[in-house]
Amino acid sequence: MKQSTLDALAAAGLDPEAVARIARTALEEDLGGPTGTDVTGAATIDAAQTDTAELVARADGVVAGLAVAAAVFDLASEGASRFEPLVADGAAVRRDDVLAVITGPTRALLTGERPALNLLCRMSGVATHTRRWADALQGTKAQVLDTRKTTPGLRILEKYAVRAGGGTNKRIGLYDAAMIKDNHKLAAGSLTAAYQRVRERFPDVPAQVEVTTVDEAVEAVDAGADFLLCDNMSPDLLRDVVKAVGERAELEATGGLTLDRAREYAETGVDYLSVGALTHSSPILDIALDLRPRDAGPSERPRHAGLPEGE
């Protein structure tokens, strides 16, 4: 990948090697057959032809994943393309806004088109959905959290998109935080026993305990837990938990939360609302790649919240 793409990925907190693996997989899905090539492009486009294309929003939303798209075009063109973002990830955009301009071998632009858009549209859809939740929680102390309910192979991208949309990441996997749920309590014999075993085996790993009643919340905090997952509780029950242990532990509400009731739950006093739908049910943001007509000059660059005009 080009240095500009590596720098953009690093600035986003994304591992360039991991992104490169995802980008290669996306390209190989299209190019991995018997011919190993884009047969339409190879038949209709001269190998030496170059063009300029624009990534264009087809709907209003929030952008995430431009550097990931750049990585796809870098690999498709073997470094021969130039990717110029016109907005920043996290920017709110409108339909018909130009998000980026890519110049390079025409075959490579069209080979990279669908793999790049699959990732960019998916990530931007997650960011757009997350922004709606973040906006709904404005004025409360609650933050919206993601979960591990992610698309296999795309977790780092989807969790990045949550951040771009104004949300907060929970644990990345099973390795960076313990989550003591009902099955762990049953296997260990009790909530307290499960928590103590985690602390003994992994004393430096953050640990959260799932609770469903006020009594369980008190037991968990008395055992030493300082982060509770309040599962499928009504707003009234959440308020009781906040009153009982809210000064001793961070509290996360989860289970069946919907955007139309987000503020009601946030106003109970919990610290987080955990929403699996951010990553498992977000619709894509429709984005297209349009080749500029060969006899046309550069499009007028739109003004955006993401980058000041002229950058």
Contact yes or no for 188/217 (Cβ under 8 A): no
Is the C-alpha dihedral spanning 148, 153, 156, 161 positive or negative?
negative
Side-by-side strand order, sheet with 272-274: 143-145, 272-274, 250-254, 227-231, 207-211, 178-180
Q: Are strands 98-105 and 178-180 parallel, antiparallel or unpaired?
A: unpaired
Q: Which of 54, 97, 113, 210 is catalytic?
A: 210
Give catalytic status of residue 216 as yes or no: no
The CB-based long-range contact list for 208-213 (8 Å cut-off, 24+ gap) reads 208/177, 208/178, 208/179, 208/180, 208/252, 209/180, 210/179, 210/180, 210/181, 210/182, 211/241, 212/182, 213/237
Q: Which of 82, 114, 155, 239 is catalytic?
A: 114
Q: Which of 60, 231, 250, 286 is catalytic?
A: 231
Q: Which of 94, 181, 261, 303 is catalytic?
A: 181
C-alpha 6/C-alpha 11 separation (Å) is 9
Give catalytic status of residue 231 as yes or no: yes
Angle 205-170-189 from CA coordinates, rounded to 5°: 55
Q: Which of 149, 197, 199, 292 is catalytic?
A: 149
Of 251, 243, 256, the C-alpha closest to 270 is 251
The tokens for 25 are 């997989």
Of 161, 140, 135, the C-alpha closest to 150 is 161
The tokens for 195 are 């928590």
| Bridge partner list, 100 | 55, 85
Give catalytic status of residue 197 as yes or no: no
Give catalytic status of residue 290 as yes or no: no
Give catalytic status of residue 114 as yes or no: yes
C-alpha 10/C-alpha 67 separation (Å) is 10
Report the catalytic residues.
114, 149, 181, 210, 231
